[in-house]
Amino acid sequence: MPDTAKFGGYWFSFQYNYQRQKAAKMYEDESDSYTNKDGQVFHLYENTYNGTSTFDSTNFKTSKHLFRLNLEENPNSYPFVGAFASLGFENTDYYYFNKDTLFNYSNTSKKNSQYADAGIYRIKGEKFSFSAKYVLYLSGYKQGDFRLDGYIRQKIGSEKNTVELKAEGGQYKETPDYFLQKYYSNHFRWNNNFRPEQRTTLKFTASMPGYNSQIGTRFSLLKDLIYFDETSLPTQYDNTFSIFDIFLNNQASFGKFGTVTRLNYQKTSNERILPLPEFSGYFSLFFAPDIHFNETKGRIRFQLGADVSYFTSYMGQGYTPATAVFYNQSNQLIGNYPFVGAFWNVEIKRLRFYLRAEHINYGLMQSNYFYTPSYPTNRLVIRYGVTWAFYD
């Protein structure tokens, strides 16, 4: 068959994107003093600059402008690829405020950054596709930051026996958020001069869409990571460490039965800085018949089954309500506890209904049902929901 592709036929377009984001947090308490079950008074926070009351508010507003010139991908014309070049502008206002009788302090900081990026891609290829992008911050708060990432995907085989291989990777240098550098509240205050964080990531996956299966591995190299220590204060780790994991996802059917499996093994070279459970998994087994009624031409589909999730024990990160951040702790191990549930999902024409029981093994095992230290998960809970789709 002759090659019908030809030179020319280039498609250009101009793009403008505008994004705006706003978020706010308020934290209030009447007193820092609490009494435990033994009648002993304790303080939730190490520092309370005003012991009468706390009313902290924090917010930020971000606006982003992007101007982009695109060379659209044209599968019928050489060179079969698309490309783009952009200029972007980021403007962020940070605000924090503390109201007390000793300190009346509020602060508003404006941080602006300008960047350029460029990329090349081929995403319409049936068997082969790729994408590569480079972003460089030219001036402003994030000057010198960069992001270089991309992927290559190749399909092998045909129909149900198709295997899709994909390699992804990236290298990043990122200036810390302003709130990690400077923050002021009734319980936490800091003024830092952190260096940009750096990381390198690699990911390889092999998928078989015809069998709903995927296996893969990831590797990350982290340098100058910023984390919250055991006093809930941000600090920077000066050295380099790594994270490695292997994962498997599968969804299978056997007649009227089905299973969903998700398994993950991971290892961090520095558990003190970044603690992770070594193994985590999820498994679901369900009965899913498709019932037809010949007289009415109706049909009922439902799933009736059970599932379990589990992760090995590790020093999970604690939670600080005053700043809404997770911090490293070494006092409580969590994990090594299965969470068992049962569910019933029903679909009748435009009606969908579900009934779910969570943590049905509550009270049958050791009471170590924590996802976060000091915050136990729910006991046995029954949830239900109904969805009815109406015709237009």
Q: Burial letters for 258-285: b for 16+ Cβ neighbours within 10 Å, e otherwise? A: bebebebbeebeeeebbbbbbbbbbbbe
- What is the average per-residue pLDDT within 26-47? 82
| Helix, strand, coil abundance in the chain, percent, nearest 5 | 5, 65, 35
- What is the average per-residue pLDDT within 112-124? 95
Contact 97, 108 (CB under 8 A): no
Contact 178, 110 (CB under 8 A): no
What pLDDT, on the 0 to 100 scale, is given for residue 316?
94
Residue type, 114: Q
State the Cα–Cα distance between residues 290 and 299, nearest whole angstrom.
7
Look up residue 104 and give its two tokens: 């009346």
What pLDDT, on the 0 to 100 scale, is given for residue 363?
87
- What is the average per-residue pLDDT within 376-382? 92
Does the pLDDT of residue 351 top 80, yes or no? yes
What pLDDT, on the 0 to 100 scale, is given for residue 101?
44
For residue 19, count other CB atoms closer than 10 A to its CB: 10
What pLDDT, on the 0 to 100 scale, is given for residue 7?
52
Strands 104-122 and 82-99: antiparallel
Does the pLDDT of residue 297 top 70, yes or no? no
Spell out the residues 6+ positions from residue 307 whose beta carbon is closer than 8 angstroms to its own.
260, 282, 283, 284, 285, 340, 341, 342, 343
Confidence class for position 216, pLDDT limits 50, 70, 90:
very high
Mean predicted lDDT score pLDDT of the chain: 90
Does the pLDDT of residue 134 top 70, yes or no? yes
3-state secondary structure of 229: coil
Contact 347, 301 (CB under 8 A): yes
- Percent of the chain past pLDDT 90, that is, above it, reads 66
User: What is the sign, positive or negative, of the torsion defined by CA atoms of 348, 350, 351, 352?
Assistant: positive
Contact 48, 32 (CB under 8 A): yes
Q: Where is 344: in which H helix or E strand? A: strand 339-348
- What is the average per-residue pLDDT within 237-245? 96
What pLDDT, on the 0 to 100 scale, is given for residue 5?
47
What pLDDT, on the 0 to 100 scale, is given for residue 105?
60
State the Cα–Cα distance between residues 98 and 88, nearest whole angstrom.
34
Q: Where is 231: in which H helix or E strand? A: none
For residue 291, count other CB atoms closer than 10 A to its CB: 10
Does the pLDDT of residue 140 top 50, yes or no? yes
What pLDDT, on the 0 to 100 scale, is given for residue 225?
97
Residue type, 19: Q
Phi, psi of 160 (to 5 degrees): -70, -25
Domain definitions of the chain by residue range:
1-184, 212-392
Task: Rank 122-131, 234-243, 293-302, 363-372 by mean pLDDT and report only the highest.
Answer: 234-243
First to last CA, the chain: 48
Strands 318-320 and 11-29: unpaired
What pLDDT, on the 0 to 100 scale, is given for residue 2?
47
Strand partners, 53: none
